[in-house]
C-alpha cells in the first residue's frame, strides 16, 4: 500500500460538543464517558480544542508512547510551556526520557524493599489504632473519619512532610482543579489555597523534612550530586500532591463499593488476600484521576484517526477503566475480576506509571485488612456524595455504620 493510500484512509476525529468540566458532567460523568467511548477511538472536544480518548487500547498507546505523545506540555489541559500557562513542571511527571530516566532511577532506588517493608509495619499499627476508634464510634464518615484520617497520618511518616488536614486538602484541590480549564472551580480553588501556598513551599524544603524519610533520602541524593539542584524539592512536591488525595479517593471508593454489597465484604473477610483486589477494583470502578493529558509531538494517527501536531490529547481514565471492550459488566463493582492490577490504568502505564503506587497499595491494604479482621459488617446509612473537582473523582461524604466482629 502506498503512503498516499495510507494517508487517504485516515479519518478526522469525530467532534463532541460536550464540556467534561461542566458541573453537570463532573457530578455525573458516566453519560459523557459512554459518549466518548462510542464516538470512536479518538474524539475532538470542541469546547476546549483538545483530543480525547476513552477506550482502553488507545489509552495504553497514548500513555506509553512518549515519542508521539509527550508529557513535556504538562499533564493538565493547559500547556505549561506557554507563557500564559507556564508553571514549573514536575520532574517526575512532566518530562520525558532521558531526563525522566535519570530522576526516576534515583527515586526507584530510594524506594527500596527495605524502606517499603518498614512503612508497611507502621501502616499496620496506625490502621489498627484507627479501626479501634471507628468500632467504638459505630457510625462515622468514611471519607473524613476513615480514609482522610488514616492517609494523612500514615503518608507523612513515609514521605517525610508534615501534612495538616486543612492545608493539605486545600493545596490538593488547587492542584487538581489547576489541571483543568480556568473555570469557576479553578478560580475558587486557587483563592482557597492562597493562604497555604507559603506553608506548602516551605514544607518541601530541606530543613523541613523528617529524617530517614523519602524526602530526606532524595535530598541526600541531591547533595551527593545524583540529582540536579532543586530536583529533590520538586519531586517531594509531586509526591505530596499526587499521594494524598488520590489514595484517599481510592480507599473511599473501595469502602463505598464494599458497603453497597454485603456479599463483597463477606468475601474480603473470608479471604484476607481480597483486600488487594478491593482497592484495585475501587480505583478501576471510580478512577481517582479522571483524566491526564499528553501533547502530540507532531502530526500522527491513532487507530486510523488523523491527529494534528502540538495538540493536547486527554486520556479520560474514568471512561477507559469502564470500557466494555476490556471488562464484562464494567459498571459493576466486583472484587473477583481477573487481572485487575495489571489491566486497569488508574495508576498509568509505561515509563510514567505512578512511582508511588506501592505506597498507595501498602496504605490501602493495611487499612482494609484491619477493618476486615475486626468488623463484621459495614453498611451505608445514607447515599454517598461527591466533590466537584476538575481532574478527580472523589467522595465528599460516605456515611457508614460498622458492627464489630
Q: Which three cell numbers stand for residue 208?
A: 523541613
- 49 φψ region: left (φ > 0), alpha (ψ -120 to 50), beta (else): left
For 143-167, the pLDDT digits (tens) are 999 999 999 999 888 889 998 999 9
Is the peptide bond prior to 398 cis by the omega test (within 30 degrees of 0)?
no
- DSSP letters for 196-250: GHHHHHHHTSGGGSPTTSHHHHHHHHHHTTSS-TTHHHHHHHHHHHHHSHHHHHH
Are 295 and 70 within 8 A, CB to CB? yes
Neighbours of 267 (CB within 10 A): 17
Measured distance CA(169)–CA(248) in Å, rounded:
11
The CATH number that applies at residue 331 is 1.10.630.10
pTM of the model: 0.94
Are 21 and 181 within 8 A, CB to CB? yes
**Terminal CA-to-CA distance of the chain, rounded, Å?**
67
Q: Considering only CA atoms, which of 346, 291, 288, 281 is closest in space to residue 315?
A: 291
Angle, helices 274-285 vs 245-260, to 10°: value is: 110
For 348-390, the pLDDT digits (tens) are 999 998 888 888 999 999 999 999 999 999 999 999 999 999 9
Q: Considering only CA atoms, which of 351, 75, 119, 360 is closest in space to residue 246?
A: 360
Number of domains making up the chain: 1
Bridge partner list, 288: none
- Supply the range of the domain harboring residue 105: 3-404
Full pLDDT tens readout for the chain, 405 residues: 334 334 558 999 999 999 999 999 999 999 999 999 999 999 999 999 999 999 999 999 999 999 999 999 999 999 998 876 657 788 888 999 998 999 999 998 988 777 777 788 889 999 999 999 999 999 999 999 999 999 999 988 888 999 899 999 999 999 999 999 999 999 999 999 999 999 999 999 999 999 988 899 999 999 999 999 999 999 998 888 778 999 999 999 999 999 999 999 999 999 999 999 999 999 999 999 999 999 999 999 999 999 999 999 999 999 999 999 999 999 999 999 987 777 999 999 999 988 888 889 999 999 999 999 999 999 999 999 999 999 999 999 999 999 999
φ and ψ at residue 161, rounded to 5 degrees:
-125, 130
- 3 state DSSP class of 403: strand
- DSSP letters for 44-113: EETTTTEEEE-SHHHHHHHHH-TTTEESTT-SSSS-TTSGGG--PPPTTTS--TTHHHHHHHHHHHHS-H
Measured distance CA(312)–CA(153) in Å, rounded:
37
Query: What's the confidence (pLDDT) of residue 134?
Result: 98
Measured distance CA(146)–CA(247) in Å, rounded:
12
Contacts 24+ apart (CB under 8 A), 322-330: 322/30, 322/33, 322/284, 322/285, 323/37, 323/54, 323/55, 323/56, 324/37, 325/55, 325/56, 325/57, 326/56, 326/57, 327/284
Amino acid at each position: 500500500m502506498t503512503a498516499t493510500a495510507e494517508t487517504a484512509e485516515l479519518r478526522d476525529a469525530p467532534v463532541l460538543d460536550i464540556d467534561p468540566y461542566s458541573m453537570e458532567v463532573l457530578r455525573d460523568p458516566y453519560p459523557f464517558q459512554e459518549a466518548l467511548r462510542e464516538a470512536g477511538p479518538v474524539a475532538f472536544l470542541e469546547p476546549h480544542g483538545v483530543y480525547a480518548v476513552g477506550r482502553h487500547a488507545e489509552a495504553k498507546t497514548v500513555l506509553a508512547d512518549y515519542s508521539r505523545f509527550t508529557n513535556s506540555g504538562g499533564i493538565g489541559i493547559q500547556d505549561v510551556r506557554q507563557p500564559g500557562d507556564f508553571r514549573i513542571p514536575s520532574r517526575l511527571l512532566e518530562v520525558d526520557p532521558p531526563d525522566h530516566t535519570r530522576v526516576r532511577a534515583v527515586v526507584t532506588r530510594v524506594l527500596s524493599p527495605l524502606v517499603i517493608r518498614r512503612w508497611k509495619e507502621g501502616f499496620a499499627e496506625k490502621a489498627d489504632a484507627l479501626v479501634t476508634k471507628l468500632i467504638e464510634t459505630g457510625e462515622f464518615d468514611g471519607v473524613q473519619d476513615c480514609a482522610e484520617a488514616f492517609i494523612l497520618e500514615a503518608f507523612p511518616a513515609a514521605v517525610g512532610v508534615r501534612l495538616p488536614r486543612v492545608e493539605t486538602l486545600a493545596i490538593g484541590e488547587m492542584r487538581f482543579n489547576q489541571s483543568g480549564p480556568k473555570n469557576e472551580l479553578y478560580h475558587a480553588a486557587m483563592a482557597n489555597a492562597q493562604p497555604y501556598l507559603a506553608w506548602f513551599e516551605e514544607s518541601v524544603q530541606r530543613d523541613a523534612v523528617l529524617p530517614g524519610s523519602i524526602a530526606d533520602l532524595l535530598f541526600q541524593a541531591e547533595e551527593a550530586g545524583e540529582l540536579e539542584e532543586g530536583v529533590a524539592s520538586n519531586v517531594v512536591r509531586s509526591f505530596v500532591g499526587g499521594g494524598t488525595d488520590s489514595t484517599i479517593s481510592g480507599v473511599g471508593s473501595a469502602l463505598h463499593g464494599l458497603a453497597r454489597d454485603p456479599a463483597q465484604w463477606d468475601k474480603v473477610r473470608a479471604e484476607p488476600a481480597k483486600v488487594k483486589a478491593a482497592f484495585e477494583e475501587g480505583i478501576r470502578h471510580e478512577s481517582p484521576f479522571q483524566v491526564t493529558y499528553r501533547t502530540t509531538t507532531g502530526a500522527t494517527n491513532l487507530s486510523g484517526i488523523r491527529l494534528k501536531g502540538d495538540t493536547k490529547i486527554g486520556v479520560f481514565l474514568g471512561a477507559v477503566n469502564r470500557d466494555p471492550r476490556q471488562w464484562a459488566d464494567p459498571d459493576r463493582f466486583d472484587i473477583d475480576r481477573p487481572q485487575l492490577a495489571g489491566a486497569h490504568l488508574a495508576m498509568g502505564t509505561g515509563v510514567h506509571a505512578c512511582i508511588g503506587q506501592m505506597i498507595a497499595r501498602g496504605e490501602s491494604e493495611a487499612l482494609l485488612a484491619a477493618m476486615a479482621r475486626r468488623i463484621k459488617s459495614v453498611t451505608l446509612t445514607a447515599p454517598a456524595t461527591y466533590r466537584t473537582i476538575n481532574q478527580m473523582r472523589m467522595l465528599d461524604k460516605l456515611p457508614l455504620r460498622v458492627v464489630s466482629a
